[in-house]
């Protein structure tokens, strides 16, 4: 008598193994095309006139959201950038995230 249990028919109680998907897995995790060698333009805006803030050392009780290296405080990052960045050339104003009224987040311009 011939035993057919090893004939290669899959056991219906076990899930079938998926076919190899190495080609599909090769692109897994990629979201769009690569931008190597290209640069994205920075956002730009006109900063407006500089309206001086206040000196933090002279007014330590006042809330200081945004601070320049010289210790001048401003209510908004745009106001600090307007006073710290040069107006005769393109520049980049940079700062961290505001962490509250007395965070005194440093604002720099390059």
Domain ranges of the chain: 54-109
Check residue 71 and report its DSSP letter: -
The structure tokens listed for 98 are 């505001």
8 DSSP assignment: S
Read off the pLDDT of residues 54-68 as tens digits, 9 standing for 90 and up.
999 999 999 999 999
Residue 44 has a pLDDT of 72
What's the confidence (pLDDT) of residue 110? 86
Task: Give 103: exposed, middle or buried? Use CB within 10 Å, 0-12, 13-18, 19+.
Answer: middle
For the chain, which residues score pLDDT lower than 70? 1-38, 40-43, 100-101
Q: What is the pLDDT of residue 99?
A: 75
pLDDT at position 84 is 93
Phi, psi of 68 (to 5 degrees): -90, 170
Q: Are 104 and 88 in contact (CB under 8 A)?
A: no
């Amino acid at each position: 008598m011939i035993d057919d249990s090893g004939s290669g028919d899959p056991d219906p109680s076990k899930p079938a193994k998926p076919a190899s998907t190495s080609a599909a897995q090769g692109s897994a995790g990629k979201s769009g095309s690569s931008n190597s060698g290209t640069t994205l333009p920075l956002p730009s805006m006109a900063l407006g006139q500089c309206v001086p803030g206040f000196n933090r050392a002279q007014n330590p009780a006042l809330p200081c959201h945004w601070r320049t290296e010289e210790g001048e405080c401003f209510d908004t990052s745009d106001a600090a950038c307007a006073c710290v960045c040069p107006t005769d050339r393109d520049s980049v104003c940079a700062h961290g995230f505001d962490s509250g009224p007395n965070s005194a987040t440093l604002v720099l311009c390059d």
